[in-house]
């Protein structure tokens, strides 16, 4: 199996020319990330306001009054009334009467001043985690601000004590609450996966439908030449999408990028190629463009649902995790979150890269075996 650079380049260049002339597809490639980011970023509102809140107050000093007022003015919380006792808390949360119950313990103010670090208990209905996540974190900022505003005169030492109290949030029903920052980085995996798989799956089936496959097959081209030549042009589409994605992610959603760029780029390249190879594999199975499209959509389901994008991976049942592990998005999702949110470096993502490379090898071998060099 002699690999010919000449033939590989011929296919590569042809593919580039066709891509450039197919304005519609090219426009779609740019529109899809923008649309998805807007839909997921805004429709799944990860930073909602005016959430119905109940309070259970066992202390009525000036600090607590001021804190409750601050909660209202923050616009995150609408204080709808009070509850009494933890039974009541369970009831209102279950009934959906409130998303939050904030419990201020007895002698809260006194304990703060004494430096005893009292506990502010927040029971949150986290069944819709994106609702509760940011509000919970807002709460502790609010409490700290309240303390700072009171920290004058003899109490000024409190201002320099950031943990004068602690907020204990009980995220009920969904302990691994996903935050907004979790959604947006994961979207990059979803966007790339969706478009890369579909675009290659279609690109090859299109040759069969237009009849040009017969010319291609009549030439002495070998499977790896065709596969590489057809895949590599779309890597650039992947880059363009990534750029569009980050412009929006930074600008509209202010998503952090904590880690270094190099491991990200390594992961990105491998991930793009895995998905293109997968699309190529699909195209060797699909009979026409419609089928290729359907297969791509069918693949999107597990890659959105089982990759840890929608639901926390660790909380999924064993069989779902097993499926999740063979989906490239799962591993890239981890790389993205580790690097963007946790500031991880190359050594931290080695296991995920290894998993991606194993999937890549398996998919490529399968695709090459399935790629028919005849019209049978």
Partner 1 sequence: MTQETATPVIEVEGLVKKFGDKTVVDQFDINVPKGAIYGFLGPNGSGKTTTIRMLCGLLTPDAGSGRCLGYDILRQSDNIKEHVGYMTQKFSLYEDLTIRENLDFMARMYRVPDRKQKVDKALEELGLANRSHQQAGELSGGWKQRLALAACLLHGPDLLLLDEPTAGVDPKARRDFWDEIRRLSDAGVTVLVSTHYMDEAIQCDNIAYIAYGKKLIDGPARKIPEMVGLNTWRVEGPDLANLAADLEGSDGIEQVARFGSALHISGMDAKKLDNAVNPFRKDKRYTWTSKPAGLEEVFIHLMSGSTDNFAEKKAA
Contact 67, 95 (CB under 8 A): no
The yes or no reply on residue 211 touching partner 1 (CB under 8 A) is yes
When binding is defined by CB under 8 A, the residue of 81, 115, 220, 343 that contacts partner 1 is 220
The yes or no reply on residue 266 touching partner 1 (CB under 8 A) is no
The yes or no reply on residue 370 touching partner 1 (CB under 8 A) is no
The yes or no reply on residue 369 touching partner 1 (CB under 8 A) is no
Which residue, 2 or 314, has its beta carbon nearer to partner 1? 2
- Looking at 4-12, 165-173, 278-286, 326-334, which segment touches partner 1 (CB under 8 A)? 4-12
Which residue, 17 or 243, has its beta carbon nearer to partner 1? 17
Rounded distance between C-alpha atoms, residue 55 and residue 68, angstroms: 9
Contact 11, 223 (CB under 8 A): no
CA distances from 330 to 165, 272, 320, 357 (A): 38, 13, 12, 13
The yes or no reply on residue 210 touching partner 1 (CB under 8 A) is yes
H/E stretch holding 160: none
Q: How far is residue 294 CA from its own chain's centroid?
A: 23
* Nearest-10 Cα torsion for 302, 303, 305, 309: 170
Contact 94, 76 (CB under 8 A): no
How many residues are given for the chain? 376
The yes or no reply on residue 209 touching partner 1 (CB under 8 A) is no
The yes or no reply on residue 230 touching partner 1 (CB under 8 A) is no
Which residue, 216 or 357, has its beta carbon nearer to partner 1? 216
Rounded distance between C-alpha atoms, residue 356 and residue 345, angstroms: 17
Q: What angle do CA 313, 314, 316 make, to 5 degrees?
A: 70
Hunting for tokens 């499209």 — which residue is that? 293
Which residue, 146 or 200, has its beta carbon nearer to partner 1? 200
- Looking at 1-9, 161-169, 189-197, 349-357, which segment touches partner 1 (CB under 8 A)? 1-9
Least distance to partner 1, CB of residue 231, Å? 18
Least distance to partner 1, CB of residue 291, Å? 19
When binding is defined by CB under 8 A, the residue of 219, 262, 288, 322 that contacts partner 1 is 219
Note the residues at the interface with partner 1 (CB under 8 A): 4, 6-7, 9-11, 13-14, 17-18, 21-22, 210-215, 217-222, 373-376
């Amino acid at each position: 199996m002699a690999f010919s650079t000449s033939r590989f380049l011929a296919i590569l260049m042809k593919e580039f020319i066709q891509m450039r002339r197919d304005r519609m597809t090219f426009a779609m490639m740019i529109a899809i990330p923008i649309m998805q980011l807007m839909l997921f970023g805004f429709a799944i509102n990860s930073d909602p306001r005016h959430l119905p809140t109940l309070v259970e107050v066992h202390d009525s000093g000036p600090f607590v009054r001021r804190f409750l007022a601050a909660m209202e003015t923050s616009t995150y919380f609408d204080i709808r009334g009070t509850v009494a006792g933890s039974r009541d808390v369970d009831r209102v949360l279950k009934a959906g009467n409130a998303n939050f119950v904030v419990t201020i313990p007895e002698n809260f103010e006194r304990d703060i001043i004494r430096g005893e670090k009292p506990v502010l208990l927040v029971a949150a209905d986290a069944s819709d985690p994106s609702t509760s996540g940011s509000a919970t974190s807002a709460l502790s900022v609010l409490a700290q601000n309240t303390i700072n505003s009171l920290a004058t005169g003899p109490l000024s030492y409190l201002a320099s004590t950031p943990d004068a109290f602690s907020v204990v949030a009980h995220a009920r029903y969904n302990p691994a609450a996903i935050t907004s920052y979790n959604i947006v980085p994961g979207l990059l995996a979803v966007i790339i996966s969706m478009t890369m798989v579909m675009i290659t799956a279609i690109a090859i089936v299109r040759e069969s439908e237009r009849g040009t496959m017969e010319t291609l097959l009549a030439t002495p081209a070998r499977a790896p030449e065709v596969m590489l030549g057809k895949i590599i042009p779309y890597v650039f589409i992947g880059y363009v999408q990534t750029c569009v994605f980050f412009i929006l992610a930074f600008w509209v959603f202010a998503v952090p990028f904590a880690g270094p760029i190099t491991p990200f780029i390594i992961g990105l390249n491998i991930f793009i190629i895995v998905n293109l190879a997968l699309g190529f594999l699909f195209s060797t199975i699909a009979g026409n463009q419609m089928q290729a499209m359907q297969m791509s959509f069918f693949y999107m389901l597990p890659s959105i649902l089982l990759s840890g994008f929608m639901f926390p991976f660790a909380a999924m049942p064993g069989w779902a995790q097993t499926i999740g592990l063979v989906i490239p998005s799962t591993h890239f999702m981890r790389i993205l979150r580790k690097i963007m949110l946790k500031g991880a470096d190359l050594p931290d993502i080695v296991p995920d890269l290894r998993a991606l490379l194993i999937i890549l090898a398996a998919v490529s071998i399968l695709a090459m075996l399935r790629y028919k060099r005849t019209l049978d």
